[in-house]
Amino acid sequence: MEPALWRQLDAVVTALQAVRGGQSGTAALAAVEPGLRPGVQALLFQVLRNLGRAQALRKQLAPRNPPPRADALLCTALALAWSPDEAPYEAFTLVNQAVEAAKRNPASQAQAPFLNACLRRFLRERDALVAATDGDPVAQWNHPAWWIARLRKDHPQHWQQILQANNAHAPMALRVNVQKTTPAQYLLGLSAINLEASPAGPFGIVLDRPVAVQQLPAFADGHVSVQDTAAQMAAPLLLEGLDLSQPLRVLDACAAPGGKTAHLLEYAGAASPMQVVALEIDADRATRIHETLDRVGVRAQVLVADAARPQDGWLDASGGGRFNAILLDAPCTASGIVRRHPDVRWLRRESDIEQLAQQQARLLATLWPLLQPGGRLLYCTCSVFRTEGEAQVQTFLARNTDARLLPSPGHLIPGKPDESGGVSENRPGDHDGFFYALLQKHAA
């Protein structure tokens, strides 16, 4: 039996308040009781994708800020009901259940009449109220104003495409473990259980509709992993052209949750003597790397350490010596994966970009000396901001005359390919926003 809608809305409001308070959507949803969580996640994601419009409508209805919980509940109802074509329930049902949620929670009980009045007015005047907010870019695009302005500057030809993609649902993409099966064979297995999917790139499959991983054939045996097709480009970009029959040392510098680490080893093959060292600064997240590697049946040396501080001993613990290849999937704003994590746009502040860019620069400066002459470093971020991508790499190249940029995808625009010329030729279908730069150190 499905939980009452008012209970789900009450939980959504609690999660929205947590996000507004600086907590990630993932953490906020983890606090929701399991029986409510699937429905609450679906509603919360829709609220976050329409929060700019909802906040603009709330200002039309109540120019003075209501108390925080009442404001969150009002914005939740408006985000879900403002567009009849997208509303998950009839508008009258949403309004009734939102008012019921207000009455049932002591923190909003006193504001129930106010909420009822605002939402009833919204039902009467919806078209006029929506039209009054159409000129507000934050309402139109459902991103903070600074985010929109930065995208317009960074991607003058594609900023609208990026924002539209961010407000859509991301596809569920799988990476096939070619050591155990092939994409063609796995597609047949999916078809046998009536799961429709399409190939995407050399290792990828995109499902027509998302399913729980438990429904995927041989998922527990490591035949596939859930990974966006843009992220699947990392391992082949770094390793293609290297002699994988030699005992190469490879570093995955920021490895959790382990998807790219596993792909490096899958790509090299079981017969390769390649050694992979996977670093993760957070012990809990390092545990996820172990779980990922165990499931797909590969081995790496996993160390809990800060990649920016080899002096703390992780380099010696890894066996010492320089690396033939380094993967630096650097911490970033995650501005390229907003459609998967719609909370990111509301959590980030513009000042975060420069702080993260400084951290990225420190990691590049620290890891570059650990690369052997002739070796290569793949710098990547799941960001569409040029400060974290193209500008970061150009600054690095200017400071390091022993580095050269090999052919690389650069900035990948999220969403489906278009005909505007703003995507890379090797772009594997619908994917997240990403940046890749492959750097090689001059041989001595």
Q: Which residues carry out catalysis? A: 382
Residues 276-303: b if buried by 16+ CB within 10 A, e if exposed: bbbbbbeeeebbbbeebbebbbbebebb
Taking a C-beta distance cutoff of 8 angstroms, is the pair 314, 286 a contact? no
Beta bridge partners of 323: 371
Tokens 């996640």: give the residue. 41
Q: In the chain, what is the greatest distance between 2 CA atoms, to the nearest angstrom?
A: 76
Q: Computed over its alpha carbons, how large is the radius of gyration of the chain?
A: 24
Rounded distance between C-alpha atoms, residue 320 and residue 332, angstroms: 28
Tokens 């772009």: give the residue. 427
* CA distances (Å), origin 342, targets 42, 47, 129, 260: 11, 9, 25, 23
As to burial, measured by CB atoms within 10 angstroms (0-12 exposed, 13-18 middle, 19+ buried), residue 157 is exposed
Taking a C-beta distance cutoff of 8 angstroms, is the pair 348, 382 a contact? no
Count of Cβ atoms closer than 10 Å to residue 140 Cβ: 15
Rounded distance between C-alpha atoms, residue 137 and residue 133, angstroms: 9
User: 305-314 contacts: CB < 8 A, separation 24 or more?
Assistant: 305/279, 305/280, 305/281, 306/279, 306/281, 307/253, 307/254, 307/279, 307/281, 307/363, 307/366, 307/367, 308/359, 308/362, 308/363, 308/366, 309/366, 310/366, 310/370, 314/279
Beta bridge partners of 200: 204
